[in-house]
Amino acid sequence: MKKRGIGISCNTHPAGLKGGGDPSQALIRVKLDGTLDLVIGAVDIGQGCKTILRQIAAEELSVPLEAITLSNFDTDIGLMCTGTFASRVTFIDGNAVIRAARDLKDKIKRFVGSQLGVEPEQLEMADNRVFVRDNPEKGMSMAAIGAAANWGGAILVGTGAFTPGAGQDFDPETGKMTAIASLAFGACVAEVEVDTETGVVDVLKLVQVYEIGRAINPLLCKGQINGGSMMGISFALTENLFPYYPAVDFAPETFSDYILTTAADMPKEMIYDIVEVPHPNGPYGAKGFSEMTASAAPPAILSAIHDAIGVWITDYPATPEVILRALEAKSTS
């Protein structure tokens, strides 16, 4: 018999180490042709931080996205980044990039001021150029700035670093603390169909909402939500390193026995929404949230299974074997 059920979960996620102490650095320099090199330490594992950090630098410096080349490939000369984990890169590296960009902007204005014989405070930066606020005709394009600085023996480099300071005001009794980094919030509703003959669980529908401060790149956010959902369905239903833990028997060795979700496991309906409540410390209010998209679906799915067949599965994954054993235990008790 096929039985349907609905379950709900709520979750929250900090960006980076929740006790802080995980810095990142950024550096931006003006090249000969006036385009920019952005150097960071963070690794892009597909989440798109190379795009987002360039977007942030472009926004701060009023230059086109295409004018910024990002480099993060060399650990010898690369900058410090605690790592790409815990959804921290947009939040922490993003702040470092903002600081580096503001530092560079100051230096560019001082350089252009000396070239044009005006005070740096009188200058504005917009549309890929720097000009006198009250006399916009008078100014220099980024190309002219790049050439004048580099050929003139100057070097225009901005640097920035950001760290949520470690372990502040943590109350060991209650766990209460200031959210140094950010806390994102989410909710997920899953609808499942459980086949009581075979124990197979199908996720028919996922509806999710995430409060993420600010979606700097909505398409990348969508990818994180849908991708995380597929990982979540995997955790909930199939992936298991030690099926008979603590015994190591039948531990999977290949992808044919360590089962990942495929396109065929995708719910027919994956609906999501993003709510934006800007975080005071986030880059343009953004929070880190990607990782929580993988942890939202599993509890919702297990609750939905309970709704469908009246048994609580308390250990992931709810494989057909687990479901059938639980049903058997229920019918004999």
Partner 1 sequence: MKYILSFVLNGQPVDVLAEPTDTLLDVLREKLRVMSPKRGCDEGDCGACTVLLNGEPVRSCLTLALSVAGQEVMTVEGLSKNGKLHPLQRAFHEHYAAQCGFCTPGMILAAKALLDKNPHPTREEIVEAISGNLCRCGTYQEVLEAVQAVARGEYAEVKE
* Residue 102 found at the interface with partner 1 (CB under 8 A): no
Q: Contact region for partner 1 (CB under 8 A) — 100-108, 133-141, 220-228, 300-308? A: 220-228
The two beta strands, 201-211 and 269-275, are parallel
The residue to which tokens 């006198």 are assigned: 132
Structure tokens at 84: 């790409």
Minimum separation from the CB atom of position 242 to partner 1 (A): 20
Residue 192 makes CB contacts below 8 A (sequence gap 6+) with 4, 5, 6, 7, 201, 202, 203, 204, 301, 304, 305, 308
CA–CA dist 284, 183 (Å, integer): 15
Q: Contact region for partner 1 (CB under 8 A) — 94-102, 185-193, 257-265, 305-313? A: 257-265
Residue 263 makes CB contacts below 8 A (sequence gap 6+) with none
Catalytic one of 124, 269, 291, 328: 291
User: Is 124 labeled as catalytic in the residue annotation?
Assistant: no
Q: Rule CB under 8 A: which of 36-65 touch partner 1?
A: 45-48
Count of positions on this chain that bind partner 1 (CB under 8 A): 25
Query: Maximum distance among all alpha carbons in the chain?
Result: 90
Minimum separation from the CB atom of position 234 to partner 1 (A): 8
- Could you say which of 192, 209, 231, 311 contacts partner 1 (CB under 8 A)? 231
Strands, sheet with 269-275, edge to edge from the N-terminal-most edge strand: 2-14, 183-195, 201-211, 269-275
Instruction: Identify which of 123, 91, 98 has the alpha carbon closest to the alpha carbon of residue 22.
Output: 91
* Residue 89 found at the interface with partner 1 (CB under 8 A): no
- Could you say which of 229, 240, 281, 295 contacts partner 1 (CB under 8 A)? 229
Minimum separation from the CB atom of position 224 to partner 1 (A): 9
- Could you say which of 1, 77, 241, 264 contacts partner 1 (CB under 8 A)? 264
Q: Specify the residue, 48 or 158, whose C-beta has the smaller distance to partner 1.
A: 48
